[in-house]
Each structure stands twice: as structure tokens, then as C-alpha cells.
Amino acid sequence: MRKPHPGPLSHLDFIAFLAVNIVVIGGMWLRHGGLGQIADPGGQFIAAGQLAALYGTFAVLVQIALISRAPWLERRYGMDELNYLHRWTGFFAATLLVAHAGLTTWGYADSNGVDIIGQTWDFIAHWPDVLAAIVGLVLFLAVAVTSMKAARRALDYETWWFIHLYAYLAVIISFAHQIAVGPDFTSDRPARIYWAALYGLTAVLVLGFRWLTPLVNAFRYRLRVAEVVRHSPDVVSVVLRGHRLDRMKVESGQFFLLRFLTRDRWWKAHPISVSAAPDGRSLRFTIKALGDDTTALQFVRPGTRVMAEGPYGTFTAARARSRRLVLIGGGIGITPLRAMYEDLDRRPGDVDLLYRARSRDQAILADELAQISRQRGFGLHFSFSRPDGRRRRSNPFNPAHLKRLIPDIAQRDVYICGPSALVSAATNGLRKAGVPRHQIHAERFGY
């Protein structure tokens, strides 16, 4: 397989882009008389509300751009980090937009000598697109609320994903509201061009990399399900073959958003990691039944067309600074590590894999890992939380235990993949065992 090239974007480039736009937006607010309103009754609240709206809108556009699949962003930060930034930028944007609504209503109510309810009704009855803006704000809040950890745990992936599609509708509504009443659009042509360019750039990124690129690649690689191998009642491996896969830039440890083109599944994309070293002829993905869709994928038929968006992720051996590695996985998170374990160009003894599972029969791909260990001379260590059906309180990531198992662990790069609880526990144990933070590379299996 051809290896991906590092993206041209640096961390400082991204920071500079944000800083320039923050200054420009603040400058336009001043140009439109932002400070001049403060002396008027309610003016300080109106001015603050306008500023909150401008920065909140910019934050929403940044939030969407972060998950546009733009390759220079993805190669710099990785999908896991971009999703993290996207979520927190969304909370920040929602806070600013709520502040805009509250401050603006309060300010105009004070200026007009009416109560909050009366001013709200005046906005709805006499101001263009304010009702639509309220609907857009409610949609943003719905997206923000369902992004909170408690809500994500209560929702399956499909429901969560569907709710998040409303963010695009909210952006369109907000754009209409900004055109109708925003001073940047109603009275300043350069500002209007500036904001239109920001919206346009965001639209191009989303349409280009989330829609057009996957369609082009679908025709280029013509992927189909070639084989389905069952490992257990709730785990299968799906092997894809297609056209000229040797030209696909993919590394072990990366993942694709797979869209199986059946009548009832074509519109849903699922993030699934490559579970075997890419060989230029096929791609293998191992899927565990964790929800309605992943359960349905257990029975996908050979010959089914597949649209594969990606590869994504920086969870690859290219990030390592040391030749000696430790891989730590749990649950279905073992799949990218299994591919890396097979693919690593290391000497015997340079690699150790720690596999945390409930029991031996719940250890996905354990037999394959054992075979690779024998062939390559890599270390393989299992840890079971319920080996006899009862929960054990032993901590496999105890610092003393880690150092006994791998005496030089503090000098190694460590890759962790699995549920958030496992990633957190392993990271905490590794830090206490002396592993520097920059040598710990983590990827969480969640949304």
C-alpha cells in the first residue's frame, strides 16, 4: 500500500487562522458602532449580544469545518482529536448563541421599556426571520445536549447521528437571520463578502470532502464484500476487494467510514478500523454487534457494494519515536492494534501487546494474535476481568505490574485503543509508571 504523506498544515497555521478571524470580526463590530451603543439604555446588553452572535456564528462554522474530513486537518490532528475539538467548540458556540438571544432581548426590552416576554413577542411579530432564528437556536441546543456524555450513553449511535444532521439546517437558518438583521450584511458590503466567504468555504469543505470525494472513490475502487468470516455469535470479519487497491493510501491503525449499499443501510456510515495489515488486494474489517446497525452488518452478504470514506486517523506506527512499542487494547478496540501487530517492522522482543477482555472466549481475534506472536517473536499478554464469570478487582494497569511485565516500558511508545474507561485507566497507570505523555498515543472507541 502507498503510505500517506503528512499534511502541509501546522498547528501554528490553524491558530493563526483563528486569531486573524477573531481580530477581523471584532474590528467589524467596532466599525459598525459596537462601542457607541453602550451609552444608550440597554445598549451595553445589545452590543454584547451582537458580539456574542458574531463569535458564536464563527465558532459554529469552525465546528463544522473540523469534521469536514479535510485531509490537511485530518492528517495533522487525526479524527479522534478533531471530534474532541468539534464537540467542545459546539458547546462554546451554543453558549455564545444563547448569550446572544438573552442579552439582545434584555437590551431591547430595557431600551423599549417593556418586559422580556413583551420584547420576545415583538421580535417574533415584527422582526424578519427571528422566529426562524429561534428554531435554529433550539436545533443547536438539541445537538449540544445530545453531545453531553450522559445523553450519548442513553442514545444509540444511529439516533445521535440523525439528531446531529439538524446542525446543518440550523446553520442555514442562522445565515438567513444574519442576512435579514445583521449589521454586517445590511450595511457593509466588505463585511457581507467576508461572511459569505466564510459560509462558502465551510460549504465547499463539507460538500467536497464529505460527499464528492467519497463518491469519486466509490467509482475509483469499486469495493464489494468478498467474504464474511464469523469469529463468534456477535463478531464477524468482512473482507472487501475492489479495483486498484494498491493505490489506496492506508496504514494499519487507520479506519474507514463504511457505507454498505443495501436498501436499508446505504445512508448510514459507520467508523470501522482495518483489522488486518493492508496488502494492496483487500481490506478486512472486524465488526462486533453493539447496536442495531452493527448487528445487521453481521449478516451482510458477499457481493454487496461498499462505499469506503477514508482512510482516517493518525493512530499509526509513524507517530512512534522509539522502535520498541507497547500496544494496549480492549474490546473491539483490539482491531486496529491487531493490524499494527501484524504489520510492524520491528525485531523480535521490540513489541508487546496487552489485551484486556472479560474472558478468553470474549477476546476477539485472540488466536490470530497468538499466531502472529509466535511468528514474529512479539510479546502477548492477556488480562481477563471475569475469567470464571465473576468480576475480578485486579488492576492490569497498576504501575508496578506494568513495570514488572515490561521493565523498559518508560522508554517505549505506547498505543492504547478501546473504550474510554480503559483508555483513561491505562493512561493513568502508564503515567505513574514513568511513561512521558508524548509517548502515549490513544484512540477511543466511542462517539
- CATH number of the domain bearing residue 296: 2.40.30.10
How much is the pLDDT for 172?
76
Question: Looking at the domain assignment, is residue 1 inside a domain?
Answer: no
Whether residue 258 is contained in a domain is answered as yes
Q: Between residues 341 and 210, which one has the greater pLDDT? A: 341
* pTM reported for the whole predicted model: 0.79
Residues 294 and 440 in one domain: no
17 and 153 together in one domain: yes
Q: Per-residue pLDDT for 284 more than 80?
A: yes
* Pair 235, 286: CB distance under 8 Å: yes
In the predicted structure, residue 184 carries a pLDDT above the cut 80: no
pLDDT over 90 at 86, yes or no: no
Same domain as 195, residue 71: yes
Counting the structural domains of the chain, the total is 3
pLDDT at 185: 65
Same domain flag for 25 and 111: yes
Please identify, among 170, 186, 210, the residue that sits at the C-terminal boundary of a domain.
210
Q: Please tell me the predicted confidence (pLDDT) of residue 170.
A: 74
Q: How far apart are CA 77 and CA 313, in angstroms?
A: 8
Distance (Å, rounded) from C-alpha 390 to C-alpha 392?
6
| pLDDT tens-digit readout, 391-410 | 666 788 999 999 999 999 99
| Better pLDDT: 157 or 345 | 345
Mean pLDDT of 379-388: 85
324 occurs within a structural domain: yes
Q: Tell me if 4 is assigned to some domain.
A: no
Assess if residue 216 is contained within a domain: no
For residue 112, the tally of other CB atoms under 10 A from its CB is 13
pLDDT of 374: 95
Q: Are residues 160 and 29 in the same domain?
A: yes
Instruction: Place 127 in a pLDDT band, splitting at 50, 70 and 90.
Output: confident
CA distance readout (Å), 175 to 54, 134, 200: 11, 13, 11
Question: Residue 370 belongs to what domain range?
Answer: 317-444
Mean pLDDT comparison of 9-13, 61-65, 160-164, highest-scoring range: 61-65
Query: Is 150 contained in some domain?
Result: yes
Within 13 Å of residue 388, how many CA atoms lie on the same side as its CB?
3
Grid coordinates of 418: 478501546
pLDDT tens profile 303-362: 999 999 989 988 999 889 999 999 999 989 999 999 999 999 999 999 999 999 988 888
Residues 135, 178 share a domain: yes
6: in domain: no
Do both 308 and 352 map to the same domain? no
Could you tell me the three cell numbers for 4?
Answer: 500517506
**pLDDT band at residue 6 using 50, 70 and 90 as cut-offs:** low
User: Do 153 and 45 have their domain in common?
Assistant: yes
Q: Which CATH number characterizes residue 436's domain?
A: 3.40.50.80
At 97, which amino acid appears? L
Instruction: Give the three-class secondary structure for 260.
Output: strand
Task: Name the range with the highest mean pLDDT among 73-82, 222-231, 378-387, 435-444.
Answer: 222-231
Q: Round the average pLDDT of the chain to a whole number and report it.
A: 87
Examine residue 215 and state whether it is found in any structural domain, yes or no: no
> Are 339 and 243 in the same domain?
no
Tell me: do 301 and 326 sit in the same domain. Answer: no
Give the torsion through C-alpha atoms of 353, 357, 359, 361, to 10 deg.
-80
> What average pLDDT score do residues 398-427 get?
94
Same domain, 140 and 256: no
Q: Are residues 192 and 305 in the same domain?
A: no
